[in-house]
Amino acid sequence: MSLLTQTGIASLQLSFYGAGSMAEAIVRGLINEKLIAPNRISMLNRHNKERLSELHERYGVQTVIQGSSNEAYLREADIIFLAMKPKDAAAALAEIKPYVSQKQLIISVIAGLSISSIGQMIGEQAAIVRSMPNTSSTIGLGATGISYSESVTPQQRLLTEAIFSSIGINAIVDESLQQAVTGVSGSGPAYVYHFMESMIEAASQLGLSQEAAKELVVQTVLGAAEMVRSTGEEPAELRRKVTSPNGTTQAALELMAERHFSETIIKAVHRSAERAGELGAAIERSITE
Ligand SMILES: NC(=O)C1=CN([C@@H]2O[C@H](COP(=O)(O)OP(=O)(O)OC[C@H]3O[C@@H](n4cnc5c(N)ncnc54)[C@H](OP(=O)(O)O)[C@@H]3O)[C@@H](O)[C@H]2O)C=CC1
Ligand SMILES: O=C(O)[C@@H]1CCC=N1
C-alpha cells in the first residue's frame, strides 16, 4: 500500500482558499496523479467568478459558482490550503477564523507568512503547516519546503509529506529556513525561465527560427538538469567537461564572469529570501495594527 493510500487522502475534503497560479499548480498535480477525486477539492476566491468557472470546467473541482458558499466548503474541509497573496493574508485569515476548527489542518503556501502569525489569527493551538512549493508541482516536479507547528500530529505530518511528495520532492526544514527555500526553489523557476528567455532571444538573433530556438533551449536546460540529477556529478564538474581550453564555452563563460553572472544570481537569491522576510513582517504589522 502506498504512503498516500495509507494516509486515506482519497476520502478527505481539500479546500483551496485562494484560487490563483499556485493553488492551480498543486490541484493540477494532485489530479494528474489521481490522488483524490476532483469533486473532493474546492477552490475558493474573493470575487473572480470567471476564474472559478474556468477551474471548474478544466478540473471538475467544486467552486461557489454552483450555488454554495465559501463558508460551507471551509467548514467541511479536512485540509485548508491558504493560497492568496501575502498582502491579502491577514484579511483572509480573519474571514476564515469563525469557520475553522482544531480538527482541521491548515497548510499555507504564502511567502513570508509565519506559523506564529497564522496562530495569532486563528488560534495558537491550530495545526499549521508552513510550506513553500513551486509551480513545477503542476507536472509532479515541484520542490517544497515544509515546516510544522507543534500541534501538527504525526498522522497530519505523514499526510502533508505524502501530498507534497506526490507532486515533487520535499524538504522538511526549520521554519527559520523557509525564506531561504523561497529564494532558491520558490522563486527559482522564474530565474530559469528568465535565463531561457535570454537564450532563445540570442538564438533568434543568430538566425535560428523561433521554433528551433525554443526547442534547442528547452532540451539544453532539461538535459543539463537531468545530467546533474542522474550522474550525481557536481554542476561545476559537468561544466568543466563542456569547457574545452580556449574553446567556445570558455569564451562565453569568461564574458559571464566579467559581467558578474554568478555574483548576480547569488545576490538575487538572497534578495528573494530577504523579500520573503519583508512580506512576512508586513503581514505581522497588519495583524497587530
Ligand atoms: N506563484 C508561485 O510561483 C508561488 C506562489 N507562492 C505563494 O502562493 C500565494 C498565491 O500566489 P499566486 O497563486 O501566484 O497568486 P494569484 O494572484 O495567482 O492568486 C491569488 C488568489 O487569492 C485569492 N484571494 C485573495 N484574497 C482572498 C481572500 N480574502 N479570500 C479568498 N481568496 C482570496 C484571489 O482571488 P480573487 O482573484 O477573487 O481576488 C486569487 O484567487 C502567494 O502568497 C505566494 O507567496 C508560493 C510558492 C510559489
Ligand atoms: O513571487 C512571489 O512572491 C512568490 C513566492 C515564491 C514564488 N512566487
Query: What is the average pLDDT score of the chain?
Result: 95
Tell me: pLDDT of 5 over 80: no
**Using a CB cutoff of 8 Å and minimum separation of 24, what contacts does 282-288 make?**
282/86, 282/87, 282/112, 283/86, 283/89, 283/90, 283/110, 283/112, 283/113, 283/117, 284/114, 284/117, 286/90, 287/90, 287/93, 287/117, 287/120, 287/121
Question: What separation in Å is there between the alpha carbon of 112 and the centre of ligand 2?
Answer: 10
The CB of 17 under 6 Å from ligand 1? The reply is yes
Query: Does the model's pTM come out above 0.90?
Result: yes
pLDDT digits (tens, 9 = 90+) for 145-158: 999 999 999 999 99
- Rounded Cα–Cα distance for residues 216 and 271 (Å): 31
pLDDT at position 154 is 95
Tell me: pLDDT of 217 over 70: yes
Q: Residue 66: which pLDDT band, with cuts at 50, 70 and 90?
A: low
Tell me: pLDDT of 1 over 60: no
Q: Which bound ligand lies closest to the C-alpha atom of 132?
A: 1
Tell me: pLDDT of 277 over 60: yes
Q: Which atom of ligand 2 is nearest to the CA of 186?
A: 6
Question: Average pLDDT for residues 3-7, to the nearest whole number?
Answer: 70
Predicted interface score ipTM higher than 0.95: yes
Question: What separation in Å is there between the alpha carbon of 68 and the centre of ligand 2?
Answer: 31
- Rounded Cα–Cα distance for residues 211 and 180 (Å): 36
pLDDT digits (tens, 9 = 90+) for 98-125: 999 989 999 999 999 999 999 999 998 9
- Hey, what amino acid is at 19? A
pLDDT at position 150 is 96
Question: What separation in Å is there between the alpha carbon of 254 and the centre of ligand 1?
Answer: 40
Question: What separation in Å is there between the alpha carbon of 83 and the centre of ligand 2?
Answer: 11
pLDDT at position 120 is 95
The CB of 239 under 6 Å from ligand 1? The reply is no
Q: In the structure grid, which three cell numbers stand for residue 186, read together? A: 520558490
Q: Which bound ligand lies closest to the C-alpha atom of 109?
A: 1
Q: Residue 4: which pLDDT band, with cuts at 50, 70 and 90?
A: low
Tell me: pLDDT of 2 over 70: no
pLDDT digits (tens, 9 = 90+) for 48-60: 999 999 999 999 9
Task: Pick from 16, 17, 27, 45 the residue to mutate for probing ligand 1's pocket: most ligand atoms within 8 Å of its CB.
Answer: 45
Question: What separation in Å is there between the alpha carbon of 59 and the centre of ligand 1?
Answer: 18
- Hey, what amino acid is at 200? I
Q: Which bound ligand lies closest to the C-alpha atom of 113?
A: 1
DSSP string, 106-165: EEE--TT--HHHHHHHH-TTSEEEEEE--GGGGGT-EEEEEEE-TT--HHHHHHHHHHHH
Which residue is closest in CA terms to ligand 2's atom 1? Answer: 187
Q: Which bound ligand lies closest to the C-alpha atom of 21?
A: 1
Q: In the structure grid, which three cell numbers stand for residue 240, read together? A: 568543466
Question: What separation in Å is there between the alpha carbon of 111 and the centre of ligand 2?
Answer: 6
